[in-house]
Structure 1
């Protein structure tokens, strides 16, 4: 593969440098970066929900593009795809950096994800001989998944650092510089190909493509803006939900009725694929509890956005260890698959248990390092395990459609739904506990009066008037109530999710995922995302 792509004079080390530069650059492409969401929101005067919508639009664009990628690869050379894609990504990134219109950013985010799918497919084919010379899916995933997820976490931290020390737009400029470097490498090192440039417009079912994309975007719109617009009391949310259902129905009917559907729904005739999708959704739902950890770090520990995002660095060692465990698990096959699933769920349980018993007003930032490591370990083990499990026994012709469903569930729908769930639950529980704790702020409560009098005396001692001192003391008292309400809310949600993980882990330990201890080693393919 590499001999075909690169010029003869290019040494091995330079080929590897080109491939990994391309890989890192492509993984960094995004319409919005969540690490700088606060800075973007304050600078542009937009809602955090707008930024979240743009972020998930990238994943939707990427998922929706996958079914058409094989048709493109047969008509356009790798070098042409890379050059055109990178050039368009530069234009879109510069647009995102210089516009103040969130509508434009959301559209650009979708297009960035769409273009990203084509380069990712090329990268998979280039990395496959490096990560798995024997073309084993489990071996490839054990290297590829830790790389992809580690780069995404480093991007989160890097974005927060750039926004804190410079401006949030500089992240786009950094990616543009990397893209220009990648273009230079492709021009110099890749072979010239005589394959012409022909886009197969007539061969693609564009109606189905837009049906798939619009239905995903509408569902994400509903769960992202639901809290803001008071859910189904809002006509916007109600109409969005109904339209999403209608579009899904029409799109499914079209796939069933046409001879060459855009999406092959035969994927759902494989029970292993369905089980894998359900577990992927569950993993992302549990991993989404990081929203609560961020709330704790920002509101209780008050460390700031940069430190809150820097916690994600501690996921990376977990990803690496998880990749190693899966590599040897699938290589040796001396333990049943269900125990690997049990292990992954127990990693999540340890993470949640440490958060449940460790969050406190006097907690420390460093205490969160090991729980984050365990979260990364559990995520990686389960992602690799069910990434392999989903395609066992599947028709190779359906695997590219499996890639669509994996990306749609894992990277778009599940994280959007989980973030919405945690934000809404936190908001409702905070209201409940603020109301309950507020009822205790009476003169007959000695603890409340002691704190009130201490703050009042301190404020008067600082030279404030009695009225100002009273306001300062009351504000301090209610801040304490809000902090306690937030802690109680986080603990309650985490407690329920911990019980869910324990139950699923124990049940999984008794599910016969395979009839035998050793199973056939699945080969790699174009769908390995």
Structure 2
């Protein structure tokens, strides 16, 4: 990194590490205060989630050209430009309520967020691991990324509670301005390696894959709201996604240097990793769909107290990252064991909550499940990424990360959440019908609830008609809550059983031990890109 000579080495490391954390805290839409954003911008929940998904898609699609950008521009230019784009993006997202504008802005904010983070972390990799060990570097990177996600949510909730959801944008813009000021004065505008031009990049292929992911996210995000294929928009989006997929695959196969190389799909470890990530997204979907509804709708936690559970997840992330680092970097234990332990944490998460779902539990009762979730979350992300990289040459590595990102962040989460949400809707309707059949004055529970609310309403001076309405509403609310709790238990119980079967499958699968693999030197990567992949012919 082209720091000025008077900057000490330790200070350089601290500056770049803090800058990477600032980039990870930055986003286009902050989902912690989803309801406030929806109300403030007069958008639907699906609109805001799709905009947030665009940011993850941008982060995923920029992977294959990260080194091309690093070798084309100076570090000072990359970081200052990334900060500037994020500042402009946050200003647009703060004041605009146009979905298309927010969608495009979020896409570019995600791209430059990843570009800035990569530039920082790649510049301090020799400090993190002087031996350039893959396992050490990935353990630290995922700790920074996943830990920042939890801390960002906590900070967002604190600011929203004390001030307004808009002040998170103000904070991020201020931090990015501070980053720009520090880097402007401490970095030199020099190039440490020969410039590698940005030619022979499949920009059209990148656009096709990006549009495909955005279209699929639209289908799965809005499907439930628009009643799936009864909606003309869903049918048109489905046809468009098929067309985009055909065009993207045809270009990938027929082009000499496509955006995603078809040779990437021949690696068995990558295909197994995609399956593991898909199952992981199913486990994670219950937290997004059910736990937020439970803590907010049944336990009546506000945004601040709901997000405070992130502290438990953060503790789990720290423990999981430490365990993963020890297992894959020091002990060099088999992947099978860490996969089993990681998914076991999620099975226990669902098993414990299956017996915990009640209308009046303490917040401390949720700490252990959330710690287990954070532990398994980071341990599996680290181990699956390392397992996917086993046997893949470095020229194909970033393409494989893009494919993993399709399932991990760009599309897999939306699909899993959509599946969980639709299954929950079906079970809740069915259970509501079943429980409603038992509601009459012969049933002692319903009779008690109805008469208790009726007498209380009359004693407060309400008319008989108002008292009957209040009692009926209370009875319906009680039945609806029981139907929700029963549906959640069915889903958590089903996922627990599925998890047990999946754990048995992991035990019968063969996985290699982690190997010592070095991150290649920048000069080697530059020479490969110039001599093998991207020189003019």
TM range (shorter): over 0.9
| Residue range with higher mean Cα deviation, 108-117 or 156-165 | 156-165
The whole-number CA distance in structure 1 between the counterparts of 2:103 and 2:195 is 28
Distance in 1 between residues matched to 2:435 and 2:375, nearest whole Å: 38
Distance 1:194 1:396 in 2: 24
> Aligned in 2, Cα 1:194/1:73: closer, same or farther, shift over 3 Å?
closer
Q: Which residue of 2 aligns with 1:357?
A: 355
**d(CA) in 2 for partners of 1:156 and 1:420?**
22
Shift in Å, 1:11 = 1.4
Q: 2:29 aligns with which of 20, 27, 32?
A: 32
Q: How does 1:115-194 map to 2 (within 5 A)?
A: 115-193=112-190
Residues 104-113 or 216-225, more deviating? 104-113
Q: What's 2:510 paired with?
A: 512
Shift of 1:227: 0.3
Which stretch of the first structure deviates more once superposed, 331-340 or 273-282?
Answer: 331-340
Identify unmatched segments of 5+ residues in structure 2.
Answer: 526-537
Deviation, structure 1 residue 118? 1.6
- Give the equivalent residue in structure 1 for 2:210: 213
Aligned counterpart, 2:534: none
Superposition pairs of residues 41-56 of structure 1, within 5 angstroms = 41-56=38-53
Mapped partners of 1:278, 1:337: distance in 2: 15
Output the CA distance in 1 between the equivalents of 2:448 and 2:229: 45
CA deviation after TM superposition for structure 1 residue 203, in Å: 2.9
Paired position in structure 1 for 2:98:
101
Contact 2:59/2:114, CA 8 A, preserved across alignment: yes
1:401 is displaced (CA, Å) by: 0.5
Cα distance change, pair 197–385 in 1 and its aligned pair in 2 (3 A): closer
1:229 aligns with 2:226: yes
Question: How far does residue 314 in structure 1 lie from its aligned partner after superposition?
Answer: 0.9
**Aligned partners of 1:124 and 1:496: how far apart in 2?**
40
Give the superposition deviation at 1:335: 4.0
Q: Which residue of structure 2 aligns with residue 5 of structure 1?
A: 2
Give 1:127 deviation, angstroms.
Answer: 3.2
> In the aligned structure 1, how far is the partner of 2:343 from the partner of 2:277?
12
**Cα deviation, residue 120, structure 1:** 2.3
User: Is the counterpart of residue 502 in structure 1 residue 500 in structure 2?
Assistant: yes
Partner residue of 1:249? 246
C-alpha separation in 2, matches of 1:77 and 1:423: 46
CA–CA distance in structure 2, aligned partners of residues 196 and 328 of structure 1: 35
Structure 1 contact 319–376 (Cα < 8 Å) conserved: yes
How many residues end up aligned between the 2 structures?
521
CA distance, structure 2, for counterparts of residue 225 and residue 153 of structure 1: 27
After TM superposition, where is structure 1 displaced by more than 4 Å over at least 4 residues in a row? 194-202
Question: Which deviations, in whole Å up to 9, do the C-alpha atoms of 1:86-112 show, x marking residues without a partner?
Answer: 112111111111112222211110110
Give the deviation of 1:202 after TM superposition. Answer: 4.7
Which of residues 265, 278, 281 in structure 2 aligns to 1:281? 278
CA pair 167-196 structure 1, distance change in 2 beyond 3 A = farther
Are residue 481 (structure 1) and residue 476 (structure 2) matched? no
For 1:524, which of 512, 519, 523 is the aligned residue? Answer: 519
Contact 2:68 2:196 in 1 (8 A): no
What does residue 432 of structure 2 align with?
434
Q: 1:277 to 1:240 in 2, by over 3 A?
A: same
Q: Over residues 300-320 of structure 1, what are the superposed CA-to-partner deviations in whole Å (9 max), with x where a residue is unaligned?
A: 111122222221221111111
- Please report how far the alpha carbon of residue 338 of structure 1 lies from its aligned counterpart in structure 2 after TM superposition: 1.0
Maintained 8 Å contact 1:146/1:320: yes
Q: 1:245-295 CA deviation, whole Å, 9 max, x = no partner?
A: 210111111011111111112111000011112112211221121121111
Q: Is the 8 A contact 2:281 2:408 kept in 1?
A: yes
Indicate if the aligned counterparts of 2:61 and 2:206 stay in contact, CA closer than 8 A.
yes
1:194 is displaced (CA, Å) by 5.0
Distance in 1, matches of 2:219 and 2:197, equals: 33
- 8 A contact 1:434–1:482 mirrored in 2: yes
d(CA) in 2 for partners of 1:416 and 1:241?
16
How big is the shift at 1:190? 1.5
CA contact (8 A) 2:332 2:514 kept: no
Counterpart Cα distance in 2 of 1:334 and 1:22: 31
Q: Structure 1: give runs of 5+ residues left out of the alignment.
A: none
Cα RMSD after superposing both structures: 1.9
Deviations 1:130-185 (A, max 9, x none): 32221111111222212210111111222222222212111111111110111111
Point out the more displaced range, 63-72 or 337-346.
Answer: 63-72
TM-score by length of 2: 0.93
